[in-house]
Chain A
Amino acid sequence: MSEQEKKSKTPLLDELEKGKWPSFVSDLKQLSKKKPSVGQLLDQMEQSYETRVNYWTGTVLNLDGYGGGVIARYSDLGKKLPEVAQFHTIRVIPPSGWHYATDTLRELCDISEKYSAGILQLHGMTGDILMLGSDNKTTFEAGEELMEKGWDIGGSGGALRTLACCVGPARCETSCYDTLETTKRLTDNFISFLHRPELPYKFKFKLSGCPNDCANSIQRSDMPIIGTWRDEIQINKEEVKKFIAEHGEDYVVDNVITRCPTKCITLKKGEMAVDNPNCVRCMQCINVMHKALAPGKDKGVTILLGGKRTLKIGDTMGSVLVPFMKLETEEDMEKLFGLVERIWEFWGENGLEHERVGEFIERVGLATFLDGVGLEPNPQMIKHPRTNPYIKFEEYTAPKMAGEPKGAPNVTDKENEPKESAS
């Protein structure tokens, strides 16, 4: 081979073929042999690596009847690299918990190869299946074939986004509710909101089966739904003995007893006891001694609200909205749907454009929000009561001084859900 032939077109990206971790560059180079667009994708990336300039411009492309789900990109280098001039990503809703039969995955591969660049990302940050590299025409063809085969397109923009959940009862012994089924039911029930941007801004649900929060729901979703229990931690005395025999008492003291945030575990003469009313369900003891300890039997969920990433007010965590509710029966599921509807209604009517629900709560105050969605205030929703005296007590403020007398809250359909709170 001559020097000229050996010279690579992508010397900088080639550096990412080195090292032990699997290289996307090597994989895509291989793919480029049958997909010219992938070669040009690498060429464009190479140019970005050289200049540190990005060459994708966002645009809008929607499948018939849908208001989102395609992340459309035009290349600024389209003249030079016509194969990536239009290079769109289709978001596809995955099966709950990212479980796949190989037939399912192969079907996606075939559609991706037929209409797109043959690149799949498993999965995007929200949890969608991402199918990269279709153009203005093949995006529609791919979309139709996906839907023909029973798939549905994911969310984007000011809409409900594709849901995500942990592995849950499919394989995890600490899962306190059915994360997979709830994910499917919420998706299907609110599917119209996922496809048509009708909310002030995006809304994400993430579902974790227990407070370990493997779905990172608390800081990555507007409504984290986290499994929990309200009775006593189950203790298997035999297994406790075995664990101590195996690891020694010091290990238990260092990693379980002293690590409990509310110091509610005692170990006396090899007997372990938990002060259950003080247990905050943090999971540490169960994680360490997972054969000896288990969540209680009266299981349900804690629902939080308002988690999100940096834009615009800085990161926020979800905060407690419903301390405890059961999520087992059809009736429970309907209650959850009702709660979501009331939140969307109140936020939808009063939220500003581009205002996430957490930002909305920060602006109007949690108390006003609770009033608006018909929930009673509860000390489990806060870390501590307020420390300043600047309060407008409705009981004491004469209407003529405070303006209009207080009317009924926006949502009249109050319910008694918080009575079920954990205690």
Chain B
Amino acid sequence: MTTSPFDADRPPKPPRDGRRRRRRAGRRGDPNATVPDAEFRSYYGRPIVKQAPWGHEIAYYLFLGGLAAGSGLVGAGAHLTGRPTLRRNARLGALASVGLGGVALIADLGRPERALNMMRTAKLTSPMSVGSWILAGFGTFAGAAAVLEVARPLLRDGVLGRVARVADPLASAGSAFFAPPLAAYTAVLLSDTATPLWHESHRELPFLFVSSGLGAGCGLSLVTTAASETAPVRALAAVAAASELVADHLLERRLGEEGQPLRQGHAHRYHAAARLLTAGGGVGALLSGRSRALGALAGAMLVAGSFCTRMAVFEAGQASASDPIYTVRPQRRRADAKAAAGQGATQPGGEWPTGRAREQAP
């Protein structure tokens, strides 16, 4: 539309950053809402919640922690069923990945020299505090297991040999005990934030992350170990890949419109790659049979798929925090219902409790 004779001389407008502003028309709210329908509004398109100040190190840690947990379980299973090479490789893999993961975590701190402050308290309301203790527990047992493997030739007989025979199953049991919490807590860690996409994923994310960790652990073992010992690992890899794909599908369905950040930008590329690699790796593991090369290829795909899953979730969450629409839109939808129940943040409200509400409650 031309409104002035000078319009013809105007340089063409740069393409608008449509991501930020006014993406949508019409609100899918309650048709009987008492407040007139309003389009999405924000303060100059600026974010409301803040992105976690986390670099990619944290995404690497999500991956490495899962890989360590999966490897720990494979090592324990191998120990249980007498597969010595698989046990050794899985144990070494678990220690290497948990070690690298720990380094990534510390490197991301604003004050790395104060990393041990994590251990000055144990706090149930903080998944990071709980996770630090899980990580410490897993690291201890994974470290012991790896030392036992490396030093095995020295530990045949004598006192040391007897100690090793007691310590060996303990190391496996401890790794197996701490592996599931290690794989699952990172999901709670992400969900227990105000980052819209992470918080809204809190039902499916633990299942996605344990499957992804188990798949990665199996994948690494398929790469490192000959096919003669990996029959259970191949079956387990297929199960893990299948459940990862199911959890991922359910997650996307739950998020609906608010899952948009998973479908654009870096997150989208990682997400698409994760699905392909996980599906391919799972099928490959199942079909590879006695072929070492096929098994290793499938294993590598599973490891890469797990990495891409973590990157996708990480990137999508950060993107959802940086665009106010993902904060405002769902909250605005809730706000009217909340106001009708007297729970609106903008309502004057009733009496404030003083003293111990807990004790006054019947």
Please say whether chains A and B are actual partners in one complex: no
Residues of B within 8 A of A (CB): none
Residues of A within 8 A of B (CB): none
